Every structure is written in structure tokens, then in C-alpha cells.
Structure 1
Amino acid sequence: MSTRDFIEKDYYGALGVPQNADAAAIKKAYRKLAQELHPDKNPGNAEAEARFKDVSEAYDVLSDPKRRGEYDDARRLFGAGGAGARAGFPGGFPGAGPGGQPFDLGDLFGAAGGGARNAGGLGDLLGGLFGGAAGAGGGARARSQAASGPARGQDVETEATLSFEEAVLGVTVPLRMQSPGTCATCAGSGARPGTSPHICTVCQGAGVTSRSQGAFAFSEPCRNCRGSGQEIDDPCPTCAGSGITTQTRTITVRIPAGVKDGQRIRLAGKGAPGRRGGPAGDLFVVVHVAEHRPVTATG
């Protein structure tokens, strides 16, 4: 959530509760609105879906004491409902004309980091223009580092089925799943315990080999070490030298309130382990919400 959201959105108004409402009142208000506005009960109603997203976002903030405190502090600092953020500052904002000009913090937030993005784009452009002119050796070195350096692990996807009530209120569920993991026998090295990989004798650890054809030089992953930059003389018997095995694990996942059927929840760093010290991939949980069956009164 951005600082702009903290300033401009009225989460108390979205739930219809006063700012001094306690946790029980906030939960009660959200539960009532969520049941009324849930997309499964209002198929094709764009307005109800938008309201459902608003009340879910409001409850997600106000039900967390820490985030609620940060939200309240931000509104006190900049003005409730974003009024202070949009209004002219008394005496004029620095650089503004006499009497003060309207100043939208969105301009500030939108510009934040813009220089870095522009610089990155300029760097990419210059790299594309002059990378080849720097000589085949420079390009080969860059590709060598990319091939033999740390590699991010793969993303993993699993599923979770919730009742309608769990989807509305949020729930913590244990997920038992099979996914790639670091080999426990060799600790991910790929070599039999007691031995270690050594630098590839063909590419000298670069992970790529180069060949010249006239005025051009071409690079490709080293066929001897398959681009890893290392050779394993005695592979691990458990993972056959890959450093990764399929493992069964149980993790606890917090499903946020207001989740919809088919929504994907991302858990950073919970996917497959990286290679050569690289970061792990992400875990994506696809949520399935059971059909809501209202209880009918019997006379």
C-alpha cells in the first residue's frame, strides 16, 4: 500500500464506522458489508465488486493494530481524507505563487524514483548501443558472469480450497505440498559428501565458451559443465549431482480477508531454492472458494 493510499482513502468511511471504533465493531461492519457485496452473490455487478474491494482493503488495514496506527498517524499528519494533501498550503508551498497553489502529493509520489527509472532506461539504451562496440571480450565476460553466477529458483504453484465464510473473514491454513528443495545429503552442492565440485577445466569457471568466426565472436553455454562453471567428479547419490530433490513440506499460509475464487496469492521466497547461492523462487497459492449456501429459516 502506498503512502498516497494512506492519505487519500477513508477506510473508516468505507466500513461506516467512527474513527474510535473498536476491533469488534470494525469486524462486525466488515462482515455485514462483505456478505452483501461479495462477487459470488453479485455476479456481473461491477459497482458491488468495486465496493467489495474497498471494504476488504479497509478491513485489511483497520483490523491490524500496527497498520491502523500508521494509517491514523498519516491522516493526522497530512489531513483526514487527503484534504491537507490537496489543499493550498498557508502562505504558499515553497516555489508556489502568492496565496499558495494546490499541491497534489500524487505528483510527488509519481515522480519518486522517476530519475532512477529514467537512468536505468538510458543505461539499457546505451548498453544496447555500445555493448557490441566494446569488443567481443567484454560481452563474453558479461555473459560468463550471468551464466556462472547465482540463479533464482523456480516459482511453485499450489491450491487451497476455502469455505465462503473463510474467504470473507480471512483464515490461516496449513498447506502440505511437494516441491523442489535443497538436497539434504549434499547441502545443495551436488557432490557426494566428503567431496567438492571444482572449476570446470574447459571454460575455467566462466560457464560459457567462445568461438570466433571472421570478425565476430560467439558465446554459448559450456557443454562440459552445462553452464555451471563447475565440474562434479563424484555426484551425490541422492540428487544425482543436481543439488535439488523433491521434498514434502508443510507451510502455514495466511489468506487475507475478501479473497475471491481463482485469486492467486504470492509468497515471496517460498518457492524452489536458487542455484549457486541464488535466491529462492516464489510460491503462488491459487484460492478456490466453495459456493455460498445461505441458511434458510424453517418454520
Structure 2
Amino acid sequence: MPINERTHREFIAEASEIVDHLQAGLVRIGDERRRGRQAPAVVNEVFRHAHSLKGLAGMFGLEAMSRLAHQMETLLDGLRLGRLELDDELVATLFACADAFLGQIADAHAGRDTDPRLIERLLEQIAERTSPRAPTQQPVHKVLALQPETLTALTEYEEHRLQDNLKRGTPLYRVHAPLGLDTFEQQLSVLTAAAHAVGELVSSLPSADASGQGLLFDLLLASTTPCDELSATLLPLGATQLERIDQFAPRGSSSPPSMEPPAAWPPPLPAPAVAHYAVGGASAGATPALVVGGASTTMTS
């Protein structure tokens, strides 16, 4: 598109703001890594900033910037889905991309072309890290007690977050919350904020209430907070059931659990029963329950 002076200034300002946010996110990712922690939410933020920059550069006809942002987006996608390991080389490549964006913005502001050799070198580095590799994770339906309709609704990223928490030995829960039609937005907002405060909220999945009087939500939560504290936090906010979904999976293993038992093992026992409220019967007056390993415990106030 033709770029006049005003739109040129707008592009410089908006692109600079995006890159500032992108750099700040990379600094936070590096800080968390030095502490031995992951930062999946921050990786997601940086991924979105790269996506925004790709679209903005493409709209203004800056093909080299759009191409680099797209490849950085691919790199971040591999990181957020667990296909890539966040090592020193990857961190350096991400920061090099951010520096290249700043250089491209400065060149655009000055009306000069960016040296294409710098961009090509970065693209080659990214291509080396993002080459396809065989998947190493077991499908979540083999390691977690989730209903088929829940499994089909999960995104690839959500599946990865469940798998990653499972590998790290973080307990995984399904939080069941029947909410009223007139109040569900406010109730869900409060409930999800509370879930974020006590762990990692991996997914929030709605389903229809057959009674037509409310909506059912299942929140998938990873948390090291003790069960009694979780129930004390979430049940008063509209949740009626807190259920462990990882009880039969090996805990704290450094690799995904194997689904092939040794030959000496006895035949597998039936899967633990999972307690569920009758559809439409939990939106009002239901007694909250805590379910751990398939056994339901009624929660009394």
C-alpha cells in the first residue's frame, strides 16, 4: 500500500511499541529460565507480539520484516508446544530477532534499505532449529482421565501444557462449575482469576446444560497447591467438583509415561469411576464435591 508521511509515522510508532513489548517479554523469559522456571504465559505473549508485527509489516509492504517475524513466530510456536528446548542458543536467536526488528524500524524511519544478509543469517539459524522431528509425547487420552468430548476440544497447545505439567509431576485437576445464564460471565471471570492465582489454568471448556437454565464449565488446572486449599478457594466461587485427572499416571518422571506395561504385570484394572452430576441438576443447590482418584468426597461448609 502507498505510504504517506502520516501512515509512515504511525507504522514506526506502532512497530516500535510492539518490539518494546516483545523485548520485555524476552527479558522475562530469560529471567525465569535463570531461576529454573518456565514462563508459558510469557512465551504466549511474545508469540502474539511476533504475530502482530508480522501482520503490521505485511500491511505496510515490508516483506523482509514480515518474513522474519513469521519465522520468529514459528520458533516461538515450537517453544510453546514443547518441540524446542529453551537453551542459550535459542535465547540468543530470539534476542537477535528483536535487535533486527529495531534495526529495520530505524532503517524504515531513515528511508534506507536494511542489509538483507543479516536477515538471511537469522532465517538460516531459525530454519536449523525448527526442522521437523518425531513427536515424543504420549497422546493425552492415554495418560489423563478426560472425557472424549473434552479431549476433542483441546488445542495442541493445551495438550502440550497438560503433558508438560504431567512430566514435571504437577497435579492436574478438572474443576466443574455449573453457572447461571444471567451471571456466568461475572462468575467465570472470578473463578478463572482465582484459578490463575493458585496454579496454571490450562483450559476453560464450556458445554450446554440440558436444562437450559445455565452453562457448564470444566476448567483444567495444574497446581501444586494442596487439595484442601484448592477446594477452599474454588468451591465458594461456583465450582461444585474438584477432580484429579492424573491419578493413574506415574509421578515426576522426566519423560512421558510409557503405555506398555511389563509382561509380568497383571491385567489392568478398570479405570477409576469418575463422579459426575446429572446434567442440569447442579446449577442450583448442588453439594460441592472433591474427587481424588475417582472417589468423591462431599464438601461441607
TM-score by length of 1: 0.23
Between the two structures, name the one with larger relative contact order (CA 8 Å, sep ≥ 6).
1
User: Which has the larger share of helix?
Assistant: 2
TM-score by length of 2: 0.23
User: Which has the larger share of strand?
Assistant: 1
